[in-house]
Amino acid sequence: MYSGFMSTPERLIEATRELLWERGYVGTSPKAIQQQAGAGQGSMYHHFTGKPDLALAAILRTAEEMRGTAGRLLDGPGSARERISAYLLRERDVLRGCPVGRLTMDPEVIANDELRAPVDETIGWLRGRLAELVQEGLDEGEFATGLVPGQVAATIVATVQGGYVLARASGSTAAFDTAVEGLLALLTAPAPSPTTG
């Protein structure tokens, strides 16, 4: 399943990432990780102290990947509105859901401060970066005055994460697409013209 050029620790981390996404923490047994990674028990415990240590490495990698993907779009070329749109419209495996968002619904991850921290930090980073872009758009006159950047950023994150939930519940990406289209329509609504007295 994995490239022959990947080291054993890399294969173990990648296997754990996939299994956490598909099965959650409880469903990700050391045996399943070893089977998926093509690694023996001795190799796993040589590189990691146990399942929590390996899960943390996998969660950190997932968080790093999400930041990289989002960052390339949010820091890319174009206006603030165009970069937010690029983030919202990027290609996703919608029916699988967000690998970071899925971790927020895993009781074992959320109950463990060390495992939860990279999830919380990544979502916080995303909200902060989106808020900066909304402020940039306000400064450039792209968005209607009166928008509060932090609130809009929270709405964008909630729309994406909620869109995944709706799509998975219906078994169709249409629910995600509709949520994103609705949010983009709100963000592109013209600023209200000043009233004359």
Instruction: Read off the pLDDT of residues 64-109 as tens digits, 9 standing for 90 and up.
Output: 999 999 999 999 999 999 999 999 999 999 999 999 999 999 999 9
Number of domains in the chain: 1
**Mean pLDDT (whole number) for 123-152:** 95
Judge whether 182 lies within some domain.
Answer: yes
pLDDT tier at 190 (50, 70, 90 boundaries)? low
CB 87 within 8 A of CB 75: no
The pLDDT, as a whole number, for residue 168 is 93
Judge whether 32 lies within some domain.
Answer: yes
Judge whether 196 lies within some domain.
Answer: no
Judge whether 193 lies within some domain.
Answer: no
The pLDDT, as a whole number, for residue 194 is 55
With tokens 């809009």, the residue in question is 152
List the CATH number of the domain containing 14.
Answer: 1.10.357.10
The pLDDT, as a whole number, for residue 95 is 93
| Residue ranges making up the domain that contains 52 | 8-187
With tokens 């995600």, the residue in question is 176
Closest CA to 115 of 103, 105, 127: 103
Judge whether 195 lies within some domain.
Answer: no
Helices then strands (H, E): number in the chain?
A: 10, 0
The yes-or-no verdict on residue 192 having pLDDT over 80 is no
Judge whether 22 lies within some domain.
Answer: yes
Judge whether 133 lies within some domain.
Answer: yes
Judge whether 168 lies within some domain.
Answer: yes
- Write out pLDDT tens, residues 2-36: 556 889 999 999 999 999 999 999 999 999 999 99
